Structure 1
Amino acid sequence: MKRSRSLALGALAVALTATLGATLPAAPAADARGSQAPRTGFEKSHGARWTGQPEERDFLAAVDHASPRVRIDRVGVTKQGRPLRLVRIGAPAPRPARDVRRGNSVLLICSQHGDEPSGREACLSTVRDLAYATDRATLRFLERTEVLVMPTANPDGRAADTRGNSDGTDINRDHFALTTAEGRAMAAVLRDYRPDVIHDLHEYGPTVPYYMKDVLSLWPRNLNTADAVHSESTALSEDFVGPEVRRSGFSTGVYGIWTDPESGDPVKQVAGDGQERILRNTAGVKGAVGLLVETRVDALTDAEKADPALNNRRRVRSQLAGVAGTFGFVTHRRARIESATTSARLSGYADHGPVFLGGADNEPAPDDRILADPPCGYRLDAARFAQVKDELALHGVRWERAGDGAVVPVRQPLRDLVVLLLDGRADYHLTVATPMNVCRDVVGGNR
């Protein structure tokens, strides 16, 4: 059983990630009609430079024109006027949002931090390879799974080679407040498509000798992540991405944990807590399987130090290995994933259990950070409702009009999110709403 799964995963990984070899391909792939597939600026330069934004635009336009499996939507625009694009890939053609919500889907978020470009390159070549693939394994995968890709989640930061956007905001800390155009665009994608799996591609700087693996990954640590979603997220990291990364010749570990170079035992935690505003944790709170993947930036071999392009190619290949692991996970655990995400979203209607205002899966929440019996709803006066109405809508939170303000019931699919957004005791609340202990049983829509 394990051997057959391993062989199938290996075949799919090879089919989906043609650029995993020691060097980038000398010539691009071709589609079923023999048309030459476009190449990124990174591929054309053999890794000597990253793909420019005009090159990305032309590359995606060429893929979109050549393949009926691809559709490219503009889902937002940055402060500096750069488009935020969502690429949708499915076979024989991309499905509308309502069908994606009912089916199985995976979302790749690439380069939220503008100075971490390797994930973007992996995403661009993955879009092309999925669009042009002719093998049965990939076609079957796309028939059953919608692949959503935001190739450049932070275009202004990518143009400036900065971690933050044009205002200096770290958009991976904006998945609750939604103050940025980038954060709002991603929230709308999560709301409209409800992806089952979210794979977030990043890079990190190693600390020798404690923190220097080629690829690190981490699941949602937030304690409001449903048990089944948390279980699937850890399986994604430990049973699929990790093994695929190692099979591809790279080392791997857990993000945020320094380890002793001799024993391999944890030394200390340096990152990776349960704060809900980070995408992997937001994913868990919203009922999706989430994974942060971080690949090593710095060259650690003499050859890579002598040839930056060699280091760049290694960075992109290691990202592709992580993506292949996620695709294998979606293929082999489809039913379990759908069960976990569906039950997590439906459990909000039961309105049962505590809401955690702190802690993580490796750090129990103090008693004063646990709402054992949350309010049944929150009342917003006119001023506070006007302040947060748009953000609630982007998150997909339901409310009912109450005079000039609104009542937000806790009994809804995003139950825990409601508390975290509106309760003044939560660390990243949008506003301080009035808790309600008596609520109507019937929950209406936004009206």
Structure 2
Amino acid sequence: MFDRIREKLSILADAAKYDVSCSSSGGNRKNTNKGIGNSSNGICHTYTEDGRCVSLLKILLTNHCIYDCAFCVSRKSNDVKRAAFTVQEVVELTMNFYRRNYIEGLFLSSGIFKNADFTMERLVRIVKKLRTEERFNGYIHLKTIPGASEELLKEAGLYADRMSINLEMPTETGLKLLAPDKSHEDVKKPLGYIQNTITQYKNEKKTGIIKSTPKFVPAGQSTQMVIGATPETDMEIMYSAATYYKNFSLKRVYYSGYIPISHDNRMPAIGSQPPLLRENRLYQTDWLMRFYGYDVRELLNPNNPHLDTDIDPKLSWALRNMEHFPVDINKADYNLILRIPGIGVTSAKKIVQARKFGRLRSYQLQKLGIAYNRAKHFIKCADSPYSLNEPDPLIIKNQILAESNSKYLKIAQNQLSLF
């Protein structure tokens, strides 16, 4: 590899690391006509749903940018080394890395140089070359450039598995504070257009009017918010996420803890730690909304605008709503069982199936893989003792925290004993 290409790769791969909006895609593009690559379950720097760790080439086309967003390392006022790939260089890099089995797909984003269409047109040329000339069938995640024309968005959607566009800040107020040239409306327009086009292609496929309907963004859309750079509450963040899930059928919203990179007095001080615990709690809340049937208003509301730091949001909700507990594990429906702390989706399904063969007892629940030490405070099973005492949320919380601390202490002691 030429030295200049190596230098570009170093610069533009490093600049791309701040974008976390990549995950297992759900794409199912298959290899055809002796092409190269295969996309099954999605490619990314994370774990797929079946537990595989997969990789992708994650780069920017350029870190030149016409915008001066205070939170972005590629902002035009930042004194960093600049670089830009040509279209052909990205194509060749992708194919060379793939042939060497270094990657399984491509995550391609870009700073904006000249204007939105100028940048988006080059991104489209890259993915089109990969698909049509190189016959590459691996996973491609392409970032949408705000303000790009609908014609370019439509063409991009025919070649990319997933497309995403960053919301940047959770609220318009926060965005205007740090990126006054940007607007959430610039994000909503392409999200809406792509979502409508996805629906259109799906309907055409169902009707059978067109015999061979091409795939259009088969793995859907996602977005990302930077967390901790502006003073939004957890409630504001998650209400925004819920709105975008509802209005644009997003596959994922990503929450990226702000990494201090600027001396701008509007930003958190350099040297402060990224809000990783808060980021984790937001992801847990997101999971409860998408897979556990919680309405965001149950988890966060004006009376509880912030997530607890010492306990997860599911346990926090349960402790605030003890009137729903204890849940009779042998009678309750699946949706109520899902709300029991310590019981996940897989365990809840096992419980519903297992109780068809007889009333479940505590030892049987433990064999089904639930976190029994947590769940026991919220359930009633066949061998539960009869009690007239009203459960005290504070006592339960302290017991769970004490048990968790004891567990982690034992793990640490066992690890130290190895040495």
Q: Same fold (TM over 0.5)?
A: no
More strand by share: 1
Larger radius of gyration: 2
